[in-house]
Amino acid sequence: SAGEPAPLVRRPRPERPPLSFGQRRLWFLARSQGEDGSYNIPLALDLTDRLDPDALRRALADVAARHEILRTVLPVQDGDAWQQVLDIASAEPALTEVTVPEAELAGRIVAEAARPFAVERETPLRTVLFTAEPERGTDRRKGGKPVRQTLLLVLHHIAADEGSLPPLLDDLAAAYTARLSGAVPLLPRLPVDHVDFTLWQRDTVAANHDADADYWRTRLSGAPEQLTLPWSRPRPDRTGGPARTHDFVLDSELHQRVRALARQTRTTTFMVLHAAFAATLSQLGCGDDLVIGTPVAGRDDEALRDSVGFLINTLPLRTTLHGAPSFLDLLARTRDDDLAALAHQRLPLERIVAEVNPPRLPGVSPLFQVLFAVREEFSDRPALPGQSGRPRLVATGAAKFDLQCTISEDPATGRATGQLEYRTDLWDASAADRFARALLHVLGQATTAPEHPVVTLRTAFATVMAPQPRILPATSPAELCAAQAARTPARTALISGADEISYAELDERAARVARLLAERGARPGVLVGVSLPRNTDLLVTLLAVGRTGAAHLPVDPDFPPDRIRMLLADAAPALLVTDRATA
């Protein structure tokens, strides 16, 4: 049964403080797969005035003195890592100054952003001050000051999360302003440090473990093992890999409709956007049972409000679109499901994975492969003198998931921007553009007429990105499959969960079922009902019906029983193919 959370306060520390659950997961990934920079958090501040490097160095030391996680390394002893907090005198953050030709600045920033950390011996914050050197033959200096500088702060996710960035910038701004004037900044001591959070988290998880674990086992029972993106190339046998990004915009009118629908339905903008994201995936052929990851801040306790640390958790949110719901119905489901998941957010993702224990498939992240997040855009208030524009996150070029969709809401302008980060092994730029258009198109229709069924929502791919017609041979899918089996019998034809069959196996099974159907009267002009779950047997049966020349009637086994009875009575198929579980 769930227990009352212990108070989050400072507490005595063991000689070797353990890692938090999230830290342990990232440490294990780094040990098993190697660091590739995918869990770096790079933040860039563009400047039109020269910073004082000495004042900046002192300010960075002030920030590290306040947030001890920034001077923490994770040494390994007896095969396990622990949090070793270093004295500020021996762990002042380094500031590297680099002058580069202006044309090379963007590339150098990306390269530094992606450079891996060695967390066992290296503190998790590094800072580089880039100065852009004007092109030859141009006079782009004013008063001897360079036109452009960029301050790049790179943190490792094992010590921070995106919620850490606003307090980090606030503290850096206060410390730099004080040091610039020759004063010592007045940064008060935090209520707790990251080690205190780690110890408190272990107690809290233990006190609520049974109830939380039971919820997640039940909620994710029978969930699909993987989500295959539309237009996706075959997934490699490894996770991660190179990534690119695609940006898009939700204009102020569309974002206003999102907020209005959230108020009308007593939901949140996250829930409206989450439902639209799921509807888009479903309409593009990803199925009607989807598991999508989403981050939760983990900062409900007031003591953590101003802390830098890895406090975030990621939850696998399951969304179902069975029964042809309207968007309003889907939004109500999403609200109930999201709130239930949030009530059990204490269990860390790695413990959820252990409790659910999904099959481990090569190249497939367990539980979910797509992540959706909504965040608030950084403030437009300058953190440092001469800052131009808002702070910006820099893409590292390394993927954590097949697809990550992030919506950034801007309270100042009332609009929102979106970014897709996608694995280049699976998608190219045109696929990302298609998906962004589809999402915006679905969101526009859903917020205009939310009472309409989700299945009637059109995607941008169907309307804007219609492909050129391609003449296909006058032959059936069953004949095409048989021809492919003759050409490449050993090549994999289908992967469904743990099942993997070749073209030869698929063709042989379809032929065997076709003989059984023909013996029972299947032929041209005859209707055969097919009521099977989405698995290997479904494809085998559809090909078999095609071989006999009969037509097939799809009967979704998840339809309500009354609807199935009405469908069968109205169409009157001569045969019905199903399985014991469905029957």
Which residues lie across from 154 on neighbouring strands?
Answer: 42, 126
C-alpha of 142 from chain center: 44
Number of independent structural domains in the chain: 3
Final residue of a domain: which of 459, 487, 502? 459
- Find the CATH number of the domain harbouring 348: 3.30.559.30
Q: Domain check: are 493 and 447 in the same one?
A: no
To the nearest whole number, what is the mean pLDDT of the chain? 91
Domain that holds residue 305: 234-378+399-459
Residues whose CB is less than 8 angstroms from the CB of residue 412 and which lie 6 or more positions away in sequence, other chains included: 377, 380
Residue 28 in any domain: the answer is no
How far is Cα 573 from Cα 567, in angstroms, rounded to an integer? Answer: 10
Residue 324 in any domain: the answer is yes
With the CA atoms of 17, 22, 23 and 25 taken in that order, what torsion angle do they form, in degrees rounded to the nearest 10?
A: 120
pLDDT of residue 34: 78
Angle at 318 between CA 447 and CA 1, to 5 degrees: 125
Q: Which residue has the tokens 């009157």?
A: 572
How many Cβ atoms are within 10 Å of 542's Cβ, its own excluded? 20
Q: 432 φ, ψ to 5°?
A: -65, -40
Residue 466 in any domain: the answer is no
DSSP 196: H
How far is Cα 447 from Cα 261, in angstroms, rounded to an integer? Answer: 7
Q: CA torsion sign, 44 to 45 to 47 to 50?
A: negative
**Residue 19 predicted with pLDDT over 80:** yes
Q: Domain check: are 453 and 524 in the same one?
A: no
Q: Which amino acid is at 460?
A: A
**Residue 152 predicted with pLDDT over 90:** yes
pLDDT of residue 429: 95
Q: Domain check: are 490 and 416 in the same one?
A: no
Q: What is the pLDDT of residues 392-437, one digit of tens each?
A: 999 999 999 999 999 999 988 888 999 999 999 999 999 999 999 9
In contact, 388 and 46? CB cutoff 8 Å: yes
Residue 227 in any domain: the answer is no
Beta strands in 343-434 (DSSP E): 370-376, 392-393, 403-409, 416-423
Percent of the chain topping pLDDT 70: 94
Q: Flag the least confident range among 97-106, 218-227, 498-507.
A: 498-507
Q: 374 φ, ψ to 5°?
A: -125, 130
- In three-state secondary structure terms, 512 is helix
Cα-based distances in Å from 226 to 128, 223, 460:
40, 9, 24
Mean pLDDT on 322-347: 95
Final residue of a domain: which of 134, 161, 188? 188
Listed in sequence order, the DSSP H helices in 40-124 are 53-66, 105-114
Question: Confidence band (pLDDT; 50, 70, 90) for 563?
Answer: confident
Q: Domain check: are 269 and 414 in the same one?
A: yes
Q: Domain check: are 519 and 431 in the same one?
A: no
* Residue 166, Cβ density class (10 Å: 0-12 exposed, 13-18 middle, ≥19 buried): middle
pLDDT of residue 463: 46
- Find the CATH number of the domain harbouring 571: 3.40.50.980
In contact, 161 and 312? CB cutoff 8 Å: yes
C-alpha of 476 from chain center: 39
Residue 482 host element (H or E): helix 477-487
In contact, 199 and 17? CB cutoff 8 Å: yes
* Number of residues assigned to the chain: 583
In contact, 17 and 137? CB cutoff 8 Å: no
Q: CA torsion sign, 496 to 499 to 503 to 508?
A: negative
What strands, in cross-sheet order, belong to the sheet with 370-376?
A: 243-250, 416-423, 403-409, 370-376, 289-296, 313-320
How far is Cα 485 from Cα 323, in angstroms, rounded to an integer? Answer: 36
- 148, HSE (Cβ side, Cα atoms, 13 Å): 17
Residue 46 host element (H or E): strand 40-47
DSSP 20: P
Q: Flag the least confident range among 118-122, 246-250, 476-480, 548-552.
A: 476-480
DSSP 520: T
Cα-based distances in Å from 14 to 17, 87, 118, 193:
5, 17, 24, 14
Residue 53 in any domain: the answer is yes
pTM listed for this prediction: 0.77
Residue 403 in any domain: the answer is yes
Structure tokens at 56: 């900046």
In contact, 348 and 298? CB cutoff 8 Å: no
- Find the CATH number of the domain harbouring 111: 3.30.559.10
pLDDT of residue 473: 64
Cα-based distances in Å from 88 to 55, 434, 494, 542:
17, 50, 57, 68
Q: 327 φ, ψ to 5°?
A: -65, -35
Q: Domain check: are 446 and 497 in the same one?
A: no
What does the DSSP assignment read for 286-347? I-SEEEEEEEE----SGGGTT--S---EEEEEEEE-TT--BHHHHHHHHHHHHHHHHTTTTS
Residue 279 host element (H or E): helix 269-281
Residue 323 in any domain: the answer is yes
Which residues lie across from 370 on neighbouring strands?
Answer: 403
Q: What is the pLDDT of residues 68-93, one digit of tens each?
A: 999 999 999 988 999 999 999 888 88
Q: Domain check: are 453 and 484 in the same one?
A: no
pLDDT of residue 137: 55
Mean pLDDT on 243-268: 96
